[in-house]
Amino acid sequence: MDSKKRKGGAEKVRESKKKTRKCVKLNQHHSKGLTSAAALEDSRAVENVAGAGGDRSAVGAESSVSEVVAGISAARDPRRPRTSAEGKDTSDTEQRVKIAELSKSSVCMKEPERVNEILTSMRNSGSSTLQVISDFDMTLTRFAYNGKRCPTCHNILENDKLISEECQAELQNLLDTYYPIEIDCTRSPEEKLPLMVEWWTKAHDLLVQQKIKKADLALVVRESEARLRDGYKEFFKHLNDTCVPLLIFSAGIGDVLEEVIRQADVFFSNVKVVSNYMDFDESGVLRAFKGQLIHIYNKREGALLNTQHFQELHSRSNVLLLGDSLGDLNMSDGVSDLQNILTIGYLNDKVDERRQSYLNSYDVVLVKDESMEVPNAILRYITGH
């Protein structure tokens, strides 16, 4: 590394420390003793929720299916405390929320009044009480570009030449078998859960057999067709500038995910990732996956295991949640002292069949919308910037 690059790195570290100090100061100003930004920076050495070297058995497989399903339905339960604005008869809840982007044709809301109330309450509380929790694949990344499907974290590896042709065919076969099940709204979560565990487990076993090298990941991501949604820069930058923590909770592959956001220059110190991380041997060759498997139907268990993160953010009782599957609604299950939650769901595929269940589950549904325009507008509104 030349001296110019070293200087750049040191400058970056200084800037990041300055930023952390600013966030800590801001947070202390707004709330008692909160140092979430610093805590986040410390916890940046990411691993999945169960930690390195833990049991690889699936969380969902260990919990009863009914617990998982209870989790999913709890997220949809109208009695769940979702807004502190409820029950207040103040005129501020009657204010009209002026967010032009909510009139886009891709936006659907079952209860716009309720969205209005939640947004007003979250704005009144200010950005120091906000945290954002987001899924990654097909939520922060695009579902399609120029009519072609974009890859998930898994697909980025699966498509690449570092996997043998035979293995690629097997992985494709798994995708063709299990993806239709993932998005099939005629099947219950109970029915789908063991099949999802089967998919992830088989795919990870195949990837491990391929002796993937850690050193190859950066190039694989660079050469891939992975694409963050339009407006992603504003999204990440805005959260960083306003010191709002972002938890990316993904059933994808953490090492690949991190590389995607690092190469996009948005892996700021306010970002924490919980995902499936690869375990490399001393020569940098993939030998296993770390910790407990995260798949789309055990995010509740993952969230509940992640209590330390949520405790550090205990004064951030307002949550903006972004997802693309109903299981993503459980990502906030470990949040302590939840006051308000606004959920935004990207409905990318099988739109007609799934529209109603998404409307029943998410506050704001974005139908075939490849951009971050709406979340960005909502963030600007809540943070007042």
Ligand X SMILES: Nc1ccn([C@@H]2O[C@H](COP(=O)(O)O)[C@@H](O)[C@H]2O)c(=O)n1
Q: Active-site positions?
A: 135, 137
Helix or strand (DSSP H, E) at 351: helix 351-361
Please name the residue that has the structure tokens 């330390």: 308
To the nearest whole angstrom, how small is the minimum distance from the Cβ of residue 336 to ligand X?
23
Nearer to ligand X, 26 or 175 (CB): 175
Please name the residue that has the structure tokens 């570290």: 13
To the nearest whole angstrom, how small is the minimum distance from the Cβ of residue 383 to ligand X?
25
Cα gap 280→214, rounded to integer Å: 7
CA neighbor of 152 nearest in space, from 305, 330, 342, 296? 296
Partners of 66 in the beta sheet? Answer: none
To the nearest whole angstrom, how small is the minimum distance from the Cβ of residue 299 to ligand X?
7
Cα gap 154→304, rounded to integer Å: 25
Nearer to ligand X, 102 or 294 (CB): 294
What burial class does residue 371 get, using C-beta atoms within 10 Å of its C-beta: 0-12 exposed, 13-18 middle, 19+ buried? middle
Instruction: Determine contact, residues 314/307, Cβ cutoff 8 Å.
Output: no
To the nearest whole angstrom, how small is the minimum distance from the Cβ of residue 92 to ligand X?
35
Nearer to ligand X, 121 or 343 (CB): 343
To the nearest whole angstrom, how small is the minimum distance from the Cβ of residue 185 to ligand X?
15
Partners of 248 in the beta sheet? Answer: 134, 273
- CB-hemisphere CA count at 13 Å for 263? 18
Give the start-end residues of each E strand in 179-285: 246-253, 271-276, 278-280
With a CB cutoff of 8 Å and minimum separation 6, the contacts of 129 are 30, 31, 122, 315, 316, 317, 318, 339
Which stretches of the chain bind ligand X, using CB under 6 A?
135-138, 152, 154-155, 175, 179, 182, 199-200, 203, 250-252, 296
